[in-house]
């Protein structure tokens, strides 16, 4: 009898031990899975792609659009990023020509590049987070020239007048330069330089010095995520791209009238819209104070691979200097309303992504 009880007790202990072991294994597996998942998104990006490299890659993209092999400009830049280890001081135009030729003749594909180049996938995702939304199909309003001539001036030279506009579908650069066309500015590569107001830190943006009241332009279509006063940035605007990968930060806007009339948090804006005006507000806990020495726009670009990177110590900010140089080719033309003293864009666009967002609201 005692022997039977002992066997039963040992059996119960064995069963309980097995259950505990299986639960422990499950917890460990879940913990390991969670740990693995945390490492899946990109934690750091440096963007040193030169304007010249972007220009050449963009031209390949445009020239091959609609053809049997369409070269994506971000893929070309990602290949060079993997080849150079992100160091574009080594950039040679011939390197891009070589890979473009191999892709066009079919000797290489993006899938082959992913297999052959250890870090291609990383650079494709990293550079894509910055550039993917900037090129695509959209409609743009364009002027139509009309020749006007009457019997009274037949003997004189007739003049061309822009009397109306038309909508045209195009494939090309949808992103705009952050400063309106016709307004001068000066800049240099100041990303990472020291700042001391409040606490010692690095400058995580690109400053463009200009005149007070210069119209500031939305670089990409998106929605207004932040609008108001910040101790460091003064009057500022934060705009999220629709895919959630980019956060554009425009700071030190004009005292008293910093924003485009009617702009509110949550609004959808299209690339090329006037969103605010250059000033020198900031460096003050008190609102509407000019504590910055020089009128300028602080333009910042933050990348988001995981929502945990939006705030705190895990933020990823990249240099905008070369990108701004590239975007200089596409500046938004603006006009002034003398009654309201507001500036607005002259020619509208229809960005399919922005229209889809607006229709869904």
**pLDDT for 333:** 97
Q: Token pair for residue 263?
A: 């702009």
Range of the domain at 309: 186-347+354-360
Predicted local distance difference test score (pLDDT) of residue 194: 78
* Pair 118, 214 in one domain: no
Classified as helix, coil or strand, 191 is coil
Angle at 65 between CA 63 and CA 68, to 5 degrees: 110
| Total domains in the fold of the chain | 2
- Flag whether 158 is in a domain: no
**Are residues 194 and 88 part of one domain?**
no
Specify whether the CB–CB gap between 146 and 163 falls below 8 A: yes
- Residues 35-55: tens digit of each pLDDT: 444 558 999 999 999 999 999
Task: Specify the length of the chain in residues.
Answer: 361
Listed as ranges, residues in the chain with pLDDT below 50 are: 1, 12-15, 17-37, 148-161
Could you tell me if residue 130 is inside a domain? yes
User: 3-class DSSP state for residue 218?
Assistant: coil
Q: Would the pTM count as exceeding 0.75?
A: yes
CATH number, domain of 304, equals 2.70.70.10
Same-domain status, 73 and 199: no
Whole-number pLDDT of residue 145: 66
Contact 299, 252 (CB under 8 A): no
- DSSP H helices, 187-335, are 321-327
In a domain, 253, yes or no: yes
Cβ atoms within 10 Å of 136's Cβ, excluding its own: 16
Please report whether residue 230 resides in a domain: yes
> Quick check: 236 and 302 in contact, CB under 8 A?
no
- The verdict on residue 175 lying in a domain is no
Q: Do 191 and 338 share a domain, yes or no?
A: yes
Residue 110 resides in a domain: yes
Domain end point (choices 68, 102, 136): 136
Say if 22 falls within a structural domain: no
Domain boundary among 110, 136, 162: 136
What is the per-residue pLDDT across 107-156, written as a single tens digit (0 to 9) for each? 999 999 999 999 999 999 999 999 999 999 999 999 986 554 443 343 34
Nearest residue to 231 (alpha-carbon basis) of 191, 192, 197: 197
Pair 316, 237: CB distance under 8 Å = no
User: Distance between CA 96 and CA 81 in Å, rounded?
Assistant: 11
Q: For residue 353, what pLDDT is reported?
A: 92
Last residue of a domain, one of 77, 105, 136: 136
């Amino acid at each position: 009898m005692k022997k039977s009880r002992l066997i039963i007790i040992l059996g119960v202990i064995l069963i309980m031990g097995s259950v505990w072991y299986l639960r422990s294994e499950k917890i460990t597996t879940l913990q390991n899975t969670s740990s693995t998942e945390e490492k899946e998104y990109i934690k750091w990006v440096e963007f040193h792609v030169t304007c010249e490299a972007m220009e050449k890659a963009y031209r390949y993209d445009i020239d091959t659009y609609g053809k049997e092999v369409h070269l994506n400009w971000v893929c070309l830049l990602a290949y060079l990023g993997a080849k150079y280890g992100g160091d574009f001081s080594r950039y040679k135009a011939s390197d891009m020509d070589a890979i473009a030729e191999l892709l066009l003749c079919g000797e290489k594909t993006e899938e082959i590049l992913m297999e052959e180049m250890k870090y291609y996938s990383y650079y494709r995702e990293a550079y894509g987070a910055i550039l993917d939304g900037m090129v695509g199909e959209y409609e743009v309003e364009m002027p139509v020239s009309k020749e006007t001539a009457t019997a009274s001036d037949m003997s004189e030279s007739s003049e061309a007048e822009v009397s109306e506009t038309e909508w045209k579908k195009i494939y090309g650069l949808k992103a705009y330069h952050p400063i309106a066309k016709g307004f001068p500015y000066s800049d240099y590569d100041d990303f990472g330089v020291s700042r001391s107001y409040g606490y010692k830190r690095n400058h995580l943006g690109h400053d463009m010095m200009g005149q007070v009241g210069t119209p500031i332009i939305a670089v990409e279509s998106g929605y207004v995520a932040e609008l108001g006063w910040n101790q460091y940035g003064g009057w500022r605007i934060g705009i999220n791209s629709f895919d959630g990968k980019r956060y554009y930060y425009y700071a030190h806007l004009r005292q008293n009238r910093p924003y485009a009339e009617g702009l509110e948090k949550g609004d959808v804006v299209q690339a090329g819209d006037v969103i605010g005006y250059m000033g020198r507000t900031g460096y003050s806990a008190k609102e509407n104070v000019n504590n910055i020495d020089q009128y300028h726009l602080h333009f910042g670009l933050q990348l988001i691979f995981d929502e945990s990177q939006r705030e705190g110590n895990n933020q990823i900010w990249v240099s905008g200097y070369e990108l701004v140089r590239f975007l200089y080719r596409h500046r938004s033309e603006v006009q002034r309303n003398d009654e309201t003293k507001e500036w607005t864009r002259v020619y509208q666009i229809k960005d399919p992504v922005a229209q889809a967002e607006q229709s869904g609201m």
